[in-house]
A and B are shown apart, each in its own frame.
Chain A
Amino acid sequence: MALAARPETSPTVSIAMTGSGGSGVMTAGNMLLEAAALAGYYGLMSRTSGPQIRGGEAAALIRLAGDPIDGHDDRFDLLISIDWLNLERFADEIPLDGESIAIGDPSQGEPPAAMIGPGTKRLALPMKDLAKKIPGGRANMIALGYVASLIGLPNDAVAEAVRHTLGTEGGRVTASLAGIEAGRLAAANVPCPHKLAPSRGRGAGRWLITGNEAAGYGALKGGVRFVAAYPITPATELLEWMSPALSGLGGVLVQAEDELASINMAIGASYGGTPALTATSGPGLALMTESLGLAVAAEVPIVVVDVMRCGPSTGIPTKSEQSDLNLALYGVHGDAPHVVVAPNSVADCLATTQWAVHLAEAMQVPVVVLSDQSMGQTRMVIDPPRDEEFAGKRAVAAANGQDYRRYALTPSGVSPMAIPGAPGLMYTADGLEHNERGTPSSQAKDHIAQLDKRQRKLGSVDFGPHWAEIEGDGEIAVLTWGSCTGPVREAIARARDDGIAVKLVSLRLLSPPHPDRLAAALKGVKRALVVEQTHSGQFYRYLRAEHALAAELRAMHCPGAQPMRPGDIYRELVEWSRP
């Protein structure tokens, strides 16, 4: 039998839980992830859904492993679906093959043909009927119990996750636990090759966090105490997490009337001395670009987090893409030196957003943080993050100084900022070109002096080792950024198993570019594969424009909606490494 030939346990197991909106697959998926985390596994869950506001098809995509992972596999081991309505829309996102098992409720009919791979094994589980026998029972809990049993998760971890999620709702806890037990019983004699290896670690102390929450927490660690924002998918959860967190810390989140207001409110608060942030997605960032120029000219530090989605225009709001890179790098009118950084994992959303606040404050510039839907809305088990100490604070002018010049031409370009309330330093922050005092000026000498000053600032700060993630060695490298880093890392590991050494260079600091640093990182590298999630190869073009790279480059770029798969990158590497 084909199944018997496989090892008894797997280093990672991938599970898709699907169903119509309201069927509770997200709740069940979150419980499964938390149970695995409590049992000492690492893992992640991303969410995908149809365009409907409520009631549309939804999928919780889960991967569990004994070792840390930061992305999805190429395929899924298990698919369990409460029903099959519109699920063919997920066919590309949930690839099944001959090793996969698809579990469905016979009362809900047949799975869509597009979803089922050649040779995919099928199992029937009467979830609705089993749930009906339990007072308050629900099909999603039957599914949870069944899957947990198939992959070998211990009972007590599942029960703890249920209690943690449902809290004091005693009736619901009892009904849920009964449903899970019924699911377990149904799975009792079902052979499943997709079992997790016994966990080696302990879950206690690890964190369960989404990229959006991590970015929000990093911002607070960096000192942000004012946020203004307008709701937009997929950045909304970042704001919803920050709102009560800010109140607790004595800060505030203001819901603005639009993104034009959001960024200007943040600029107003920062001008008043409070580190400030706004978060949005591509369409919102497009609206904000005029005022990014204002923050550059008036030298007001702010952080703008862009949780990217497929564009242009409304695009696909619920799916990830890296295609706002050009807008972030080049979108601002005039010569407007600013900073663009990108986290490269869910966990890194914390450190990189915190870093962004420090960079903004230290250089009195706007900093754009390019996160994306796949990091923002993925919940992941991570080791507790290190306490990062990023250098850099806002230079504040001492009150009652003599002859205060807000835009003084200092050697570093950074000039001490007066905070309203300080006597003797009154000045007008201005988006009009100005002289050192801030008085509007249309003279070329002032324009040149201030342009030089603002450019000089970006060279005034040591960006430190956080500028890039560099791993391994080899004559072949992969150059990438953002959420592509996870799948790239996994592809490199697979190539290494084949005896192909590949170096990983993932840039966090996108602007200002540091060609010398990148050249040093690529020393000895003969070929570099550039991996990104855009249709037009924005990152590849940016690298070519800003860096003199000795290595032969090959571009690998695909647009969003489809996740980047480690297998595709691996195949490209193997093919390219052939002499």
Chain B
Amino acid sequence: MNAPVTTLPSAKDFKSDTKPVWCPGCGDHGVLTSLARALADLTCRREEVAIVSGIGCSSRMPAYTNCYGFHGVHGRALAVATGLKVSRPDLTVIATGGDGDGYSIGGNHFLHACRRNVDLTYIVMDNHVYGMTKGQSSPTTEPDWDNALTPGGTGLRPFQPLVIALASGANFVGRAFSGDVIGTAHIIAEAVKSPGFSFVEILSPCITFRPEQRDWKELARPSPVPVTNDAARAARRIMTDDGFNIGILYAGNRKPYQPEIGRAQRSLQDLAREFAL
């Protein structure tokens, strides 16, 4: 008997022919490569993966991958991804975006996606700047970073996405660095495999508006401690490190939110009987 020959897609197959709009040297190129590699390593089928995004440089990701994609409005990627995954639990759903999209305009959805714990993976390419609008402060920008919109800097304390994710109930929290393509692919693959809401923050330099982020290559290092399933311990570590510890920092065991769907126990006629005298 001849079993049907199925060829699983390679990392290259997960990339589309569309040329990215990203600047040369942008960290997002590396993330695209890592994402494609992770999907190949996971032996995913292209048609069973959906990549959902909002608006921003990194939110262009779906067009550059060769699976199903959705490029929506600014800040709402997690809402689209939630609707898709809850109604189609058979799909692998990954939301991608940047720090402005995810932590500013989409901040409320970030909190509630962590809380809801739908089996999604959320990849944020954090470069501490709005790149698409040419260089304004984002929620993760340093308070004294000078720019045209907020001269002298915002004076505001940077947002702590990983701690917020833990406090809000994310079941998997990791930090990656875009320059480490293999390490990032590994963290993404583990995040996809982990049930529930998995959050991967990727330090992805914007060398156009934040050239000093070239130094991240030297600063990023593997986390000196192993992964924990204790959210409080993970939060303490993240709040006290310098932001460059890379790895899976928390993996919990909360039950994902997935209502049972597709099994009808009643008919429309049953429902109509409620109204009949």
Binding site for B on A (CB under 8 A): 34, 37-38, 203-209, 213, 217, 220-221, 225-226, 228, 245, 247-252, 254, 256-258, 260-262, 264-274, 276, 290-291, 293-294, 298, 381, 384, 418, 420-432, 438-440
Contact of B276 among A206, A261, A265 (CB under 8 A): A206
Q: Is B46 an interface residue (CB 8 A)?
A: yes
Which of chain B's residues has its CB closest to A270's CB? B83
Q: Which of B60-68, B148-156, B185-193, B242-250 contacts A (4 or more CB under 8 A)?
A: B60-68
Contact of A431 among B71, B75, B86, B111 (CB under 8 A): B71
Contact of A208 among B80, B270, B275 (CB under 8 A): B275
Q: Is B211 an interface residue (CB 8 A)?
A: no
| Given A226-B87, A257-B112: A422 in contact with B47 (beta carbons within 8 A) | yes
Q: Which residues of B contact A270 (CB under 8 A)?
A: 83
Q: Which of B121-129, B200-208, B222-230, B258-266 contacts A (4 or more CB under 8 A)?
A: B258-266
Give Cα A252–Cα B46 distance, bound, in whole angstroms.
Answer: 26
Asked if A251 and B261 make an inter-chain contact with CB atoms under 8 angstroms apart, the answer reads yes
| Given A204-B277, A426-B67: A272 in contact with B47 (beta carbons within 8 A) | no
Majority-rule SS of A interface residues: mixed
Q: Is B220 an interface residue (CB 8 A)?
A: no
Give Cα A291–Cα B77 distance, bound, in whole angstroms.
Answer: 12
How big is the B interface, by class? 35 or more
Asked if B52 and A268 make an inter-chain contact with CB atoms under 8 angstroms apart, the answer reads yes
Contact of A421 among B90, B267, B268 (CB under 8 A): B90
Contact of A37 among B47, B75, B260, B277 (CB under 8 A): B277
Give Cα A258–Cα B271 distance, bound, in whole angstroms.
Answer: 28
B75 to chain A, nearest CB (A): 8
Give Cα A173–Cα B69 distance, bound, in whole angstroms.
Answer: 58
* Contact count A vs B, C-beta below 8 Å: 188
B141 to chain A, nearest CB (A): 24
Binding site for A on B (CB under 8 A): 18, 45-48, 50, 52, 60, 62-63, 66-73, 75-76, 78-88, 90-91, 108-109, 111-112, 259-268, 270-272, 275-277
Asked if A298 and B277 make an inter-chain contact with CB atoms under 8 angstroms apart, the answer reads no
Which of chain B's residues has its CB closest to A257's CB? B112
Which of chain A's residues has its CB closest to B77's CB? A264
Asked if B84 and A272 make an inter-chain contact with CB atoms under 8 angstroms apart, the answer reads yes
Asked if A254 and B277 make an inter-chain contact with CB atoms under 8 angstroms apart, the answer reads no
Contact of A427 among B68, B84, B86 (CB under 8 A): B68
| Given A249-B264, A420-B88: A426 in contact with B68 (beta carbons within 8 A) | yes
Q: Which residues of A contact B45 (CB under 8 A)?
A: 423
Asked if A264 and B73 make an inter-chain contact with CB atoms under 8 angstroms apart, the answer reads yes
Contact of B18 among A207, A265, A384, A439 (CB under 8 A): A439
Asked if A268 and B81 make an inter-chain contact with CB atoms under 8 angstroms apart, the answer reads yes
Contact of B266 among A248, A265, A298 (CB under 8 A): A248
Asked if A258 and B108 make an inter-chain contact with CB atoms under 8 angstroms apart, the answer reads yes
Q: A260-B79, A290-B73, A294-B73 are in contact. List 10 more A-B contacts (CB 8 A).
A: A204-B277, A207-B272, A217-B268, A250-B265, A252-B86, A264-B73, A264-B79, A264-B83, A265-B80, A431-B71
Asked if B79 and A420 make an inter-chain contact with CB atoms under 8 angstroms apart, the answer reads no
Contact of A291 among B52, B73, B90, B109 (CB under 8 A): B73
Q: Which residues of B contact A251 (CB under 8 A)?
A: 261
A301 to chain B, nearest CB (A): 13
The list of the 4 closest CB pairs from A to B, nearest first, reads: A268-B83, A428-B69, A265-B83, A264-B79
Asked if B69 and A429 make an inter-chain contact with CB atoms under 8 angstroms apart, the answer reads yes
| Given A207-B277, A424-B47, A426-B66: A264 in contact with B71 (beta carbons within 8 A) | no
Which of chain A's residues has its CB closest to B257's CB? A254
Contact of B275 among A209, A261, A420, A438 (CB under 8 A): A209
| Given A245-B271, A294-B72: A269 in contact with B261 (beta carbons within 8 A) | no
Which of chain A's residues has its CB closest to B52's CB? A268
Q: Which residues of A contact B84 (CB under 8 A)?
A: 268-269, 271-272, 420
Q: Which residues of B contact A267 (CB under 8 A)?
A: 72, 80, 83
